[in-house]
Amino acid sequence: MQELTFSTMIAVLEEIFGRGLLWVMVAAAVLVTAAYLYVLIRDRAVSWRKFLWAQVAMPFGAIAAVLFVQNVTSSGFGDIGGPIDVIVLLLVSVAGAVGAAILVYTAQSLLRGKAAKP
């Protein structure tokens, strides 16, 4: 691999996750992001109570993301071979934590409705 291009990254991700699962995850991320933006525009403010609960969900999202990737790729923690593997694992956990926070905040806002103004 001489160059790192966007199409190369897509091909690598499709190889890791499988074509179907990758695009289902991308579609889910787009839907949750669109719902999150809708909630922020609708409420015109961040609800700090919902934000706190979203932060509580972050460690669970980080752990779930790491376990999901370990399961999908048929690898384990014993397969971690060097610094780049640790960096990738940390990035996966950060992505899982942020994704969980956004998902929880959005779900709370959509299920409970618009926050009451003080």
pLDDT, tens digit, 9 for 90 and up, residues 36-69: 999 999 988 888 899 999 999 999 999 999 999 9
8 A C-beta contact, residue 54 and residue 104: yes
Report pLDDT for 81.
84
- Overall number of domains in the chain: 1
8 A C-beta contact, residue 78 and residue 113: no
pTM of the model: 0.82
Q: Whose CA is closest to 24, among 72, 89, 63, 56?
A: 72
Judge whether 55 lies within some domain. Answer: yes
Identity of the amino acid at 1: M
- As a whole number of angstroms, the distance between CA 54 and CA 107 comes to 10
Judge whether 105 lies within some domain. Answer: yes
- Kind and range of the H or E element at 82? none
Domain span at 12: 6-112
Judge whether 1 lies within some domain. Answer: no
Judge whether 79 lies within some domain. Answer: yes
Judge whether 78 lies within some domain. Answer: yes
Judge whether 75 lies within some domain. Answer: yes
Average pLDDT over the chain, rounded to an integer: 89
Q: Which residue stretches of the chain have pLDDT < 70?
A: 1, 114-118
Report pLDDT for 4.
82
- As a whole number of angstroms, the distance between CA 38 and CA 113 comes to 12
Judge whether 118 lies within some domain. Answer: no
